[in-house]
């Protein structure tokens, strides 16, 4: 048998058209899962990925309760839910607009509530399921200019720990993966000095790659992690020590 096999399982990954979400979808498919690629924008990328991994792509804005519920319904009978959809609207709190606050909280945190609410009853009914919510090192330690993002990612941690307590007796697990600084479109725009400072504080001395995060997600979705719930796995090269 293959270690961390997901053979015969169906997974939904949100925010899967690019970056970390794409890597997660590819890794779960490699493990044998049937993967539903959830996306809001990037239809061409999402459809291309779905073809590559022999899955399906479903468009939805998960910051909307109705859209998130429709996405889960169209995905079908799920064994795995990975909430990866997210965005940033960085800025100092003193100058942050209501819209920048609301957009980040709704997209990053409320979406997790909406999708988890939609899957929890079916998963509880069959007394099995794995939920992995993607947070961030910023949700653990905070970061300058990211009060909205930090609040949303810290909220995911508290939400998931509470959810794990609610669902555990029904055989459903809920965990968090908190990436450090990973090479994606979000980090590519950072100033050189900011990247250098991150690397200086990271014991492994490099930025993470999307595949580093994807492997951790695959593990937490698998039966090898059957006794792990309510946990926060930092995938950060040691930055969060």
- 96 class by beta-carbon count within 10 Å (0-12 exposed, 13-18 middle, 19+ buried): middle
- Listed residue (72, 57, 76, 53) closest to 17, CA to CA: 57
- Among 31-35, 100-104, 164-168, 197-201, which stretch is predicted with the lowest mean pLDDT? 197-201
* Confidence band, pLDDT 50/70/90 cuts, at residue 190: low
- The pLDDT score that the predictor gives to residue 43 is 97
| Mean pLDDT calculated for residue range 180-203 | 80
Catalytic annotation, residues: 149
> Is the model more confident about 82 or about 185?
82
Cα 87–chain centre separation: 12
- Specify the pairing of strand 34-39 against strand 56-59: parallel
- Listed residue (83, 182, 89) closest to 135, CA to CA: 83
pTM exceeding the 0.85 threshold for the entire prediction: yes
* Confidence band, pLDDT 50/70/90 cuts, at residue 11: very high
- The per-residue pLDDT of the chain, averaged, comes to 95
Domains in the chain, CATH or no CATH each: 10-182+209-230 (3.40.50.720)
- The pLDDT score that the predictor gives to residue 186 is 65
| Mean pLDDT calculated for residue range 84-97 | 96
> Is the model more confident about 101 or about 200?
101
3-state SS class at 195: helix
* Residues comprising the chain, all counted: 241
**7's tokens:** 């053979």
Yes or no: say if 49 and 17 are a contact pair by the CB < 8 Å rule.
yes
Rounded distance, CA 18 to CA 210, Å?
A: 10
């Amino acid at each position: 048998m293959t270690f961390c096999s997901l053979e015969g399982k169906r997974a939904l990954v949100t925010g899967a058209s690019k970056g970390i979400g794409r890597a997660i979808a590819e890794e779960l498919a490699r493990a044998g899962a049937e993967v539903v690629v959830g996306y809001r924008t990037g239809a061409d990328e999402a459809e291309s990925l779905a073809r590559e991994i022999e899955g399906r792509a479903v468009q939805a804005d998960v910051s909307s309760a109705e859209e998130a519920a429709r996405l889960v319904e169209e995905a079908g009978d799920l064994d795995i839910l990975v909430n990866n959809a997210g965005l940033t609207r960085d800025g100092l709190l003193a100058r942050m607009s209501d819209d920048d606050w609301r957009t980040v909280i709704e997209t990053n945190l409320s979406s997790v509530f909406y999708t988890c609410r939609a899957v929890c009853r079916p998963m509880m009914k069959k007394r099995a399921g794995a939920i992995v919510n993607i947070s961030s090192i910023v949700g653990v330690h905070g970061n300058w200019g990211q009060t909205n993002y930090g609040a949303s990612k810290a909220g995911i941690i508290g939400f998931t720990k509470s959810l794990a307590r609610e669902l555990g007796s029904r055989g459903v697990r809920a965990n968090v993966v908190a990436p450090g600084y990973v090479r994606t479109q979000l980090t590519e725009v950072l100033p050189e000095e900011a990247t250098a400072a991150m690397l200086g504080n990271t014991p492994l001395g490099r930025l993470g790659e999307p595949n580093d995060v994807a492997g951790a997600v695959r593990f937490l979705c698998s039966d090898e992690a059957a006794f792990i719930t309510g946990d926060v796995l930092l995938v950060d090269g040691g930055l969060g020590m």
